[in-house]
Amino acid sequence: MKDKKIIIDESDEFQCTVRNIIYLKSVGLHSGKDVSIVIKPAQANKGITFIRKDLSPAVIIKADSQNICSTNLRTSVGKNGVCISTVEHLMSALWGAGIDNASIEVYGEEIPALDGSAKIYYEAIFESGIKELTAKRKYLKILEPVIVSSNDNIKNCKENDYSIAIYPSDDFEISYSMNFNHPFVGSGLFESKIDTSNFYTEISKARTFGFLKEVELLKKNGLALGGSLDNALVLNETGVLNKEGLRYKDEFIRHKVLDLIGDLYISGYRIKGKVIAKKTGHDMNAKLVKAINENKPEIKSNERNAYSKTFRLNNLLHKTGAAAAPLMSIDIANINAAGIIKFKIKNIHENIMV
């Protein structure tokens, strides 16, 4: 039996969802169409779920590596031929705001571009409020390296090869290097531990970027149809055309990190590990996500059912106030085949169907 490269690590933190409903609308960066989303609270262990509400019947698409359907200049998730494009900025904001569970109703084929970063999404989430749930947050903890490269022989990677890997760490860290043949962008290295305490200030405001000379070709291929100076940094041969300039002196590489965080969150988990990425985009990011999911342990059905019963019982006790009873005792191990749990609260015996 092979040693596990990844384990599911339950933390002392509690899962979170949005407290109130969030409405957001703008043009789609690539489709050029007006699109809108409604972010709603979700129960613990539901994860991030997209729902194409503009279709009848509505199509439910879970944020999961198996549902990645395109990585051409953006990350799209889909099911049964129905796709939702450009999910990475929203996914990054959800990660940065500490949201584990949310139901996202989508009206259109793409997530709104807003200002081309994760900033407005993040601020909207915090304005709505964040609700702590009763279930503990789980992480994917990396025990052994998981490596993806454009060169099949990772040990002999050349300068022009793309590579991404994740190594063991007790935190979530990113080391990202890039090299663009442009005098204003150039090469760079970003290295940092990233968590919910520094995501907003260090990452969220970095905007997507593109080159003026490529715009016509992109539009001929049905891309960047909604792109403008309002939702992207646009570069000519010498610098940016946006009058406000850069939000960070290294905004370009920080946006690549923003994309990477959003793409990794499609795994369905937060991760404890150090990511080392070299010139990667959505395609390589997605390959790492799929490699991670191939190496993560599966939750057995009996474990999942037992967890579900325990969670529903805890919710019931919480709602009735019984969870605070000092004389309460529960023996979860004695769930019978009918799903009956017998417990005692203040000398009162109750049978509850869960």
Unique residue bearing structure tokens 């991404």: 164
Q: What separation in angstroms does the CA of 98 have from each of 78, 141, 274?
A: 24, 17, 19
Burial of 219 (0-12, 13-18, 19+ CB in 10 A): middle
Q: What whole-number distance in Å separates Cα of residue 254 and Cα of residue 229?
A: 18
Q: Before 41, cis peptide (omega within 30)?
A: no
162 pLDDT band, cuts 50/70/90, is: confident
Structural tokens at position 347? 């000398």
Active-site position among 30, 182, 282, 318: 282
Q: What whole-number distance in Å separates Cα of residue 294 and Cα of residue 273?
A: 16
Query: The pTM is what?
Result: 0.82
Q: What whole-number distance in Å separates Cα of residue 179 and Cα of residue 330?
A: 59
Mean pLDDT for the chain overall:
85
Residues of the binding site for Zn(2+): 89, 255, 259
The SS3 of residue 44 is coil
**pLDDT top residue among 304 and 141:** 141
Q: What whole-number distance in Å separates Cα of residue 77 and Cα of residue 64?
A: 8
- Cα 163 from chain centroid? 21
Unique residue bearing structure tokens 């999404």: 121
pLDDT for the residue numbered 212? 92
Percent of the chain with pLDDT over 70: 80
197-207 pLDDT, tens digit per residue, is 999 999 999 99
pLDDT for the residue numbered 323? 41
pLDDT for the residue numbered 275? 98
1 pLDDT band, cuts 50/70/90, is: very low
274-290 pLDDT, tens digit per residue, is 999 999 999 999 999 99
Structural tokens at position 209? 């970027």
Please say whether the beta carbons of 126 and 20 come within 8 A.
Answer: no
pLDDT for the residue numbered 329? 33
Unique residue bearing structure tokens 């063991």: 168
Question: Strand 102-107 and strand 34-41: pairing?
Answer: antiparallel
**pLDDT top residue among 91 and 159:** 91
320 pLDDT band, cuts 50/70/90, is: very low
Q: Is the per-residue pLDDT at 326 higher than 50?
A: no
Across the chain, where does the E strand assignment appear?
A: 6-18, 22-27, 34-41, 48-52, 59-62, 68-70, 76-79, 82-84, 102-107, 130-142, 146-149, 163-167, 172-179, 187-193, 209-211, 233-235, 270-278, 329-330, 340-345, 348-353
Neighbours of 294 (CB within 10 A): 11
5-59 pLDDT, tens digit per residue, is 899 999 999 999 999 999 999 999 999 999 999 999 999 999 999 999 999 999 9
pLDDT for the residue numbered 11? 95
Structural tokens at position 32? 């050029």
Greatest Cα pair distance, the chain, in angstroms, is 79
Q: What angle do CA 15, 323, 12 make, to 5 degrees?
A: 30
299 pLDDT band, cuts 50/70/90, is: low
346 pLDDT band, cuts 50/70/90, is: very low
Neighbours of 21 (CB within 10 A): 12
Annotated catalytic residue 282: yes
- Across residues 215-243, what is the average pLDDT? 92
Q: What whole-number distance in Å separates Cα of residue 166 and Cα of residue 277?
A: 9
Q: What whole-number distance in Å separates Cα of residue 7 and Cα of residue 37?
A: 34
Please say whether the beta carbons of 166 and 142 come within 8 A.
Answer: yes
Q: Is the per-residue pLDDT at 123 higher than 80?
A: yes
Please say whether the beta carbons of 123 and 39 come within 8 A.
Answer: no
Q: What whole-number distance in Å separates Cα of residue 139 and Cα of residue 137?
A: 7
**pLDDT top residue among 311 and 298:** 298
What domains can you pick out in the chain, each with its CATH number?
6-295 (3.30.1700.10)
